């Protein structure tokens, strides 16, 4: 696999049979960070094989943890950490490395890392993380792109987040576990992955209540022992498979998909004419591939419509009857998939945070480029629903979040192949 790999996708095949929903990327990464706080070997099950997970393994090993993978289980032994820093190269590979800040502080009392910086979704500052940690008495200095943090005068108490940031909530939870007394995180993010993190930490001996609500209470200062957890199913991958079946048509069963965590996506797809039924062990989705538009989608923190599914649903409703409107409220620069969908024949206009999608009867296969993880997933959905062959470039973004994507989709009836690097005179530099 290289950065320049691409997918050749022949569109127009309906999807059928079963697709399993992998463990959640956004759950496993903070839990891997949390494992550094446990003295002994923790076991994490249902771990997807993703490039971001491999980066987190490199960080754990750099810190001195012993990590081994057996099938879908990951064993992390952080009994003898030897470092409390994350090198710049690893920080740059994955913005989520920032979760390690709270965990390393809890484990070592100090941490050094470079600033994660911006990324393909526009600037992603970490001011909320820093403010929350400072409220816990952690001193943080920023110099030359490096952060140096130290637990100097720890104090449990109230931490108020100006915005319910997922990462800041998780970092504050992790750091507060090591601070004696009761910390309450107010205006906390309510994403289900935060419940999964609470479950792991409590299994390790922490005492945390309220994850999934606006206030999370952490009674800190307890030593953590190794724990065992199963990673929850990935709700964004579930949303992607739902949208793929909706757009390409077919009758597909999604093993392990949980309707509660993708309720807003299911609601929009049902209104578009897709049939989704909860059946034992997952969700069944049936679609003729002919969809109705007319939706107004506003991305919001959970339980609102997830920003990570915005591009994917937009690709789905690009081929529909009627006009749909998308308002992106979480990230700047999250409409970079639009120009690629337009190349495929979609009729979409954007202004600021709003995209107006006038549904078209068909999309046509062509050359398109994935500019970030979810844009890549969205374009993959569009290519599956399009007439003719498409080439999707920069699929390394998709590898960050989707395990075995080609094998799984082909088993469900799609026709995709991966072409490595420079073969077949692919266009480079896209």
Q: Which residues are catalytic?
A: 119
Rounded CA-CA distance 82/65 in Å is 8
Binders of ligand UD1 among 30-49, rule CB under 6 A?
none
Element (H, E) at 216: strand 215-220
Q: Are 4 and 421 in contact (CB under 8 A)?
A: yes
Q: Which region, judged by CB under 6 A, interacts with ligand UD1, from 35-43, 121-129, 178-186, 227-235? A: 121-129
| Closest to 69 measured CA to CA, from 100, 44, 106, 50 | 44
CB atoms < 10 A from the CB of 223, how many?
12
Give how far Cα 383 sits from Cα of 312, 365, 415, Å. Answer: 12, 6, 10
Residues in region 329-388 near ligand UD1 by CB under 6 A: 330-331
Q: Which residue is nearest to ligand UD1 (CB)?
A: 167
Which CB atom, from 124 or from 343, has the smaller least distance to ligand UD1?
124
How many Å apart are CA 191 and CA 212, to the nearest integer?
6
Supply the minimum distance, in Å, between the C-beta of residue 189 and ligand UD1: 6
Among 17, 89, 125, 281, indicate the residue that binds ligand UD1 (CB under 6 A).
125
Q: Which of 210, 406, 369, 397 is nearest to 308 (CA)?
A: 397
**Residue 214 or 423 with smaller CB distance to ligand UD1:** 214
Instruction: State which H helix or E strand residue 101 sits in.
Output: helix 99-108
d(Cα 236, Cα 310) in Å, to the nearest integer? 10
Rounded Cα–Cα distance for residues 242 and 54 (Å): 27
- Beta strand ranges found along 281-366 (DSSP E): 282-287, 296-298, 323-327, 347-351, 354-358
Contacting residue, 168, 239, 311, 380, with ligand UD1 by CB under 6 A:
168
For the bound state, the minimum distance from the C-beta of residue 129 to ligand UD1, rounded and expressed in Å, comes to 5
Residues 172-231, interacting with ligand UD1 (CB under 6 A): 189
Is residue 101 a contact point for ligand UD1 (CB under 6 A)? no
CB of 73 to ligand UD1, least distance (A): 21
196 SS3 class: helix
Residue (of 396, 410, 407) closest to 50 by Cα position: 396
Rounded CA separation 156/56 (Å): 28
- Identify the residue whose tokens are 């994935």: 370
Window contacting ligand UD1 (CB under 6 A); options: 14-22, 120-128, 220-228, 268-276: 120-128
Number of residues in contact with ligand UD1 under rule CB under 6 A? 19
What x-and-dash track marks residues 231-270 binding ligand UD1 by CB under 6 A? ----------------------------------------
Q: Which is nearer to ligand UD1, 46 or 96 (CB)?
A: 96
By beta-carbon proximity to ligand UD1, the closer residue of 125 and 145 is: 125
CB of 301 to ligand UD1, least distance (A): 7
Q: How many CB atoms lie within 10 A of CB 152?
A: 10
Site for ligand UD1 in 288-307 (CB under 6 A): 307
- Tokens 């529909």 — which residue? 320
Tokens standing for residue 189 = 């993010």
Q: How far is the CB of 309 from ligand UD1 (least distance, A)?
A: 10
Provide, rounded to whole angstroms, the least separation between the CB of residue 125 and ligand UD1.
4
Is 239 in a helix, a strand, or coil? helix
* Burial class, 62, CB count within 10 angstroms (exposed 0-12 / middle 13-18 / buried 19+): middle
> Binding of ligand UD1 at residue 126 (CB under 6 A)?
yes
Q: Which of 22, 42, 46, 96 binds ligand UD1 (CB under 6 A)?
A: 96
For ligand UD1, give the closer residue by CB, 66 or 160. 160
Fill in the DSSP letter of residue 289.
Answer: S
Q: Is 26 in the site for ligand UD1 (CB under 6 A)?
A: yes
Asked if 102 touches ligand UD1 (CB under 6 A), the answer is no
With CB under 6 A as the contact rule, the residue among 14, 102, 167, 226 that binds ligand UD1 is: 167
Strand partners, 364: 387
Query: Taking CB under 6 A as the rule, does residue 118 contact ligand UD1?
Result: no
Q: How far is the CB of 268 from ligand UD1 (least distance, A)?
A: 17
Least spacing, CB of residue 261 vs ligand UD1, in Å: 13
Cβ proximity to ligand UD1, 6 vs 400, nearer residue: 400
Output 160 or 225, the one with its CB closest to ligand UD1.
160
Task: Summarize as ranges the residues that interact with ligand UD1 (CB under 6 A).
Answer: 26, 29, 96, 124-129, 163, 165-168, 189, 307-308, 330-331
């Amino acid at each position: 696999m290289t950065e320049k790999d691409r997918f050749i996708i022949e569109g127009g095949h309906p999807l059928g049979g079963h697709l399993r929903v992998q463990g959640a990327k956004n759950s496993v990464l903070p839990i891997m960070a949390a494992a550094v706080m446990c003295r002994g070997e923790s076991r994490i099950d249902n771990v997807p094989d993703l490039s971001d997970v491999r980066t987190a393994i490199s960080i754990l090993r750099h810190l001195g943890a012993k990590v081994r993978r057996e099938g879908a289980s990951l064993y992390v032994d952080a009994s003898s950490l030897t470092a409390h820093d994350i090198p710049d190269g690893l920080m740059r590979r994955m913005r989520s490395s920032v979760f390690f800040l709270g965990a390393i502080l809890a484990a070592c009392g100090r941490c050094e890392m470079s600033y994660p910086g911006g990324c393909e979704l526009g600037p992603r500052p970490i001011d909320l993380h820093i403010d929350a940690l400072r409220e816990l008495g952690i001193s943080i200095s920023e110099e030359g792109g490096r952060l140096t943090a130290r637990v100097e005068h720890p104090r449990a108490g109230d931490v108020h987040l100006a915005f319910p940031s997922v990462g800041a909530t998780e970092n504050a939870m992790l750091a507060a576990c090591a601070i004696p007394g009761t910390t309450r995180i107010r205006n906390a993010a309510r994403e289900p992955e935060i419940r999964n993190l609470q479950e792991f930490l409590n299994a390790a001996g922490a005492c945390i209540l309220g994850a999934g609500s606006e206030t999370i209470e952490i009674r800190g200062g307890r030593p953590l022992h190794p724990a065992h957890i199963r990673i929850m199913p990935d709700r964004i991958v579930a949303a992607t498979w739902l949208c793929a079946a909706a757009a390409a048509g077919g009758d597909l069963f999604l093993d392990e998909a949980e309707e509660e965590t993708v309720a807003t996506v299911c609601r929009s797809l049902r209104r578009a004419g897709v049939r989704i039924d909860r059946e034992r062990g997952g969700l069944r989705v049936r679609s003729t591939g002919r969809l109705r538009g007319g939706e107004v989608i506003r991305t919001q923190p959970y339980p609102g419509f997830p920003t990570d599914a915005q591009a994917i649903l937009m690709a789905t409703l690009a081929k529909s009857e009627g006009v749909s409107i998308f308002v992106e409220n979480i990230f700047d620069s999250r409409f970079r998939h639009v120009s690629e969908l337009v190349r495929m024949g979609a009729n979409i206009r954007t202004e600021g945070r709003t995209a107006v999608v006038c549904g078209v009867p068909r999309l046509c296969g062509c050359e398109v480029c994935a500019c970030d993880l979810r844009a890549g997933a969205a374009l993959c959905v569009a290519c599956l629903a399009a007439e003719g062959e498409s080439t999707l470039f920069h699929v390394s973004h998709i590898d960050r979040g989707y395990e075995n994507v080609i094998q799984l989709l082909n088993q469900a009836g799609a026709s995709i192949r991966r072409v490595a690097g420079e073969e077949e005179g692919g266009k480079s530099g896209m």
